[in-house]
C-alpha cells in the first residue's frame, strides 16, 4: 500500500512527528497545497498509537460553539473521505445516543442540543420512548438503578474503521510523495536562535525548517525537546471488545453516569470504553479492575449481555488539557507547530486537523477554525471548556 521504507533524506521542507491519523492527514493535506517534500516520522508502526487504539466513535455534538463547529467540519470531511482516498473506511453513520440519568444531565444535554442546532448540527433531546425504539436491547425502565430519562440524539454520529482511516491516508500521502519513516524515533529537536532547524532521530539527523508535533500520548516529551511547555497530563484509557454476535445495536450508546460507551462493529463485536484511568501514567497495560467495573456498568444498561465473553482488552494514552480542547498552531519557537492535547477526542478530529495544520504551515497564518485552540489561551485565560461534552466523566 505504501513504500515500506523510503530513503531517509538529510533534509525535508516539513517533518511531521507521529504517524497516526493526525500526522498522516497533515502530510496528505500538505501535498494538496503543493508541499510534497515531507517526512512523517513514527517511532513504531503507522497507526500504532491512539489512532489504532481508540473506540472509533465519530460525532460533532460538542458543548462549545468553537468545538461543535470544528468537530462538525471533521465529520463532514469524514463523510466523503472514503471517496477522496478511494479506500473503504466502513463508516456506519447510524446515530449516537448520550443517555441522561439525572435532571442535571438533561439540562446539560438540552443546552448542548441548542448550541448544536444553532450551528446546523443535527442533535436533539429525546425522551425514553424514542431511546427505547432506537436501542431496543437497552433497559429503559423507570425502576432501573439508573433510569434513562432521555438522551441527546445525534443522528450523524457513528463509527468508522480506525485502521482503515490510517491506511487510507498513508497510501494517499505516499502516492503524493510523502516519505513515511516507521521505527524512526525523534530523540531531540534542534533549535537555533528561536527557530527550528531539524530533528535528531535514532536513524540520524534530519534538517527541517518546520517540525509539526502530531503525537498523542507522548506529545509533552516532543514539545519539551523544543523547549515549549504545554499544560498537558497523560492518562491511560482502557477499552475492550467482545466476541461477535448477530447485529442488534445500530447506534452508539454512551452513559456518562455509568462511565461507559458501547457500539457494535460491522463484524458483530461489541466495543466498550470507559473513563480514563484515575492516575497520570504512560502505562498501556490493561487491568482487571477496569474489566470488572466495565462489565457491571454494561449489564446495568443491557442485562441480556451477561453471557457474552470478552475477547480482548487494551489501552491507549490520552493527553488531557485543562479545558478538554486541543492545542493547535504555531508556538513561541519559530517553525515548531503543535497539534496536540486531544484528550479523548483526537480521532474524531483527524481530517479537519490535517486540513487546518497544513493550511497553517503553508500560509503561515492560523486558520479561523482553530483560532480558539492556540497555546496562548492558557496565558490569556480564554479557555474553551469542552468537559461537558466528554463521552463519560473523565
Footprint of ligand PYC on this chain (CB under 6 A)? 55, 57, 59, 261, 273, 344-345, 391
Element (H, E) at 172: helix 162-175
Torsion of Cα atoms, 15 then 19 then 22 then 23, to 10°: 10
Closest to ligand PYC by CB, 172 or 328 = 328
Minimum distance between the CB of residue 55 and ligand PYC, rounded to whole angstroms?
5
Closest to ligand PYC by CB, 59 or 101 = 59
| C-alpha grid cell, residue 67 | 468545538
Torsion of Cα atoms, 151 then 157 then 161 then 166, to 10°: -120
Half-sphere exposure of 220 (CA within 13 A, CB side): 18
Closest to ligand PYC by CB, 58 or 358 = 58
Minimum distance between the CB of residue 143 and ligand PYC, rounded to whole angstroms?
29
Instruction: Give burial (CB, 10 Å; 0-12/13-18/19+) of 8.
Output: middle
Torsion of Cα atoms, 69 then 125 then 256 then 59, to 10°: -30
Closest to ligand PYC by CB, 73 or 361 = 73
Closest to ligand PYC by CB, 174 or 269 = 269
Minimum distance between the CB of residue 311 and ligand PYC, rounded to whole angstroms?
19
Minimum distance between the CB of residue 92 and ligand PYC, rounded to whole angstroms?
15
Residue 336 bridge partners (DSSP): 211
Minimum distance between the CB of residue 11 and ligand PYC, rounded to whole angstroms?
38
Closest to ligand PYC by CB, 43 or 59 = 59
Torsion of Cα atoms, 50 then 56 then 213 then 76, to 10°: 180
| C-alpha grid cell, residue 325 | 480542547
Minimum distance between the CB of residue 385 and ligand PYC, rounded to whole angstroms?
15
Minimum distance between the CB of residue 245 and ligand PYC, rounded to whole angstroms?
21
The CA-based angle 287-292-295, given to 5 degrees, is: 125
Closest to ligand PYC by CB, 2 or 347 = 347
The closest alpha carbon to 176, from 13, 30, 4, belongs to: 30
Minimum distance between the CB of residue 345 and ligand PYC, rounded to whole angstroms?
5
Closest to ligand PYC by CB, 59 or 161 = 59
- Asked if 240 and 272 touch (Cβ cutoff 8 Å), the reply is yes
Pairing of strands 270-276, 233-242: antiparallel
Amino acid at each position: 500500500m505504501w513504500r515500506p521504507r523510503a530513503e531517509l533524506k538529510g533534509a525535508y521542507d516539513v517533518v511531521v512527528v507521529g504517524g497516526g491519523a493526525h500526522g498522516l492527514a497533515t502530510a496528505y493535506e500538505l501535498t494538496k497545497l503543493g508541499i510534497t517534500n515531507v517526512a512523517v516520522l513514527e517511532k513504531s508502526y503507522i497507526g500504532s498509537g491512539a489512532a489504532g487504539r481508540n473506540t472509533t466513535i465519530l460525532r460533532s455534538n460538542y458543548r462549545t460553539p468553537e468545538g461543535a463547529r470544528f468537530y462538525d467540519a471533521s465529520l463532514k470531511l469524514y463523510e466523503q473521505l472514503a471517496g477522496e482516498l478511494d479506500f473503504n473506511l466502513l463508516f456506519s453513520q447510524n446515530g449516537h445516543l448520550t443517555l441522561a440519568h439525572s435532571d442535571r444531565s438533561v439540562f446539560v444535554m438540552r443546552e448542548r442540543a441548542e448550541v448544536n442546532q444553532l450551528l446546523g448540527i443535527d442533535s436533539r433531546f429525546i425522551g425514553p420512548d424514542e431511546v427505547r425504539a432506537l436501542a431496543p436491547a437497552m433497559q429503559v425502565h423507570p425502576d432501573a438503578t439508573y433510569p434513562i430519562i432521555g438522551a441527546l440524539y445525534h443522528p450523524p454520529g457513528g463509527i468508522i474503521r480506525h485502521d482503515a482511516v490510517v491506511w487510507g491516508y498513508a497510501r494517499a500521502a505516499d502516492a503524493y510523495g510523502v516519505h513515511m519513516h516507521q521505527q524512526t524515533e525523534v530523540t531531540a529537536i534542534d533549535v537555533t536562535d528561536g527557530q527550528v532547524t531539524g530533528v535528531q532521530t535514532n536513524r540520524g539527523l534530519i534538517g527541517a525548517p518546520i517540525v509539526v508535533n502530531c503525537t498523542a500520548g507522548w506529545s509533552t516529551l516532543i514539545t519539551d525537546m523544543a523547549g515549549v511547555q504545554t499544560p498537558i497530563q497523560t492518562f491511560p484509557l482502557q477499552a475492550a471488545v467482545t466476541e461477535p454476535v448477530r447485529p442488534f445495536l445500530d447506534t452508539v450508546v454512551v452513559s456518562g453516569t455509568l462511565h461507559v460507551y458501547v457500539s457494535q462493529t460491522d463484524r458483530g463485536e461489541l466495543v466498550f470504553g470507559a473513563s480514563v484511568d484515575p492516575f497520570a501514567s504512560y502505562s498501556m497495560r490493561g487491568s482487571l479492575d477496569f474489566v470488572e467495573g466495565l462489565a457491571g456498568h454494561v449489564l446495568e444498561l443491557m442485562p441480556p449481555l451477561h453471557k457474552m465473553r470478552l475477547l480482548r482488552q487494551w489501552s491507549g494514552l490520552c493527553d488531557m488539557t485543562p479545558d478538554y480542547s486541543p492545542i493547535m498552531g504555531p508556538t513561541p519557537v519559530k517553525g515548531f507547530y503543535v497539534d496536540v492535547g486531544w484528550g479523548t477526542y483526537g480521532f474524531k478530529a483527524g481530517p479537519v486537523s490535517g486540513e487546518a495544520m497544513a493550511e497553517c504551515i503553508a500560509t503561515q497564518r492560523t486558520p479561523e477554525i482553530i483560532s480558539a485552540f492556540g497555546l496562548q489561551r492558557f496565558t490569556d485565560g480564554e479557555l474553551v471548556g469542552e468537559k461537558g461534552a466528554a463521552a463519560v466523566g473523565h
